Amino acid sequence: MQTNKGIYTIILYVEQNTTIHTGGLGKIEYVRGCYAYTGSARSKSGFSRIRRHINVLKGINKTRHWHIDYLLPGATLKAIVTTNTEKDLECQISNQIKTTTTSIKNFGSTDCTCTSHLQHHSNFHRLLKYTLDAYIIHADNIDLYLLK
């Protein structure tokens, strides 16, 4: 059964090393490369959360609520991976991606026991592969959106 709710991972590219004050995490140094952020869209608003992230990235929405909101304005959106589900797979997918990447400690994981929900890899294609592998292992369906 398709729903407008589920789990998503957005893959971002950060062009140069940068230090950003990231809410309660303080200053974080983000190394040039790609980042996979996994989040939940299982609330009433569902996948409209992704649209909100895009609006923050574009500067349309200036509200900073989640850790990812601080990284988005300096990044380029490369891909979005989603699964339509009522299951709570956010941590499983994020932890699967983590096995082949570097985690940004405590990022996006204040409401769970995960190390992080943001992973870094220098190579976009490898990070995309690791992300898709995580969804293949844990999800029943996958949608992939690639951006130029």
| Through-space distance between the first and last CA atoms of the chain, rounded to whole angstroms | 31
* Model pLDDT, residue 1: 41
Report yes or no on whether pTM surpasses 0.85: yes
Over residues 28-68, the pLDDT tens digits come to 999 999 999 999 998 888 898 999 999 999 999 999 989 99
Q: Which domain holds residue 40?
A: 6-146
Tokens of 15: 């062009």
Residue 1, domain member (yes or no): no
* Model pLDDT, residue 2: 56
- In this structure, the number of other CB atoms found within 10 A of the CB of residue 148 comes to 5
Between 120 and 45, the more confident residue is 120
* Model pLDDT, residue 45: 83
Residue 40, domain member (yes or no): yes
- Counted domains in the chain: 1
Residue 111's pLDDT band (cuts 50, 70, 90): confident
Backbone angles phi, psi at 44, to 5 degrees: -55, -35
DSSP codes joined into one string, the chain:
---S-EEEEEEEEE-S-EEEE-GGG-EEEEPSEEEEEEEEE-STTTTHHHHHHHHHHHTS-----STHHHHGGGSEEEEEEEEE-SS--HHHHHHHHHTTSEE-TTTT-TTSS-S-SEEEES-HHHHHHHHHHHHHHH-S--EEEE--
Residue 132, domain member (yes or no): yes
As a whole number, mean pLDDT of residues 11-24 equals: 96
**d(C-alpha 28, C-alpha 15), whole Å:** 16
In this model, does residue 3 exceed pLDDT 70?
no
Residue 38, domain member (yes or no): yes
Residue 34, domain member (yes or no): yes
Over residues 69-107, the pLDDT tens digits come to 999 999 999 999 999 999 999 999 999 999 999 999 999
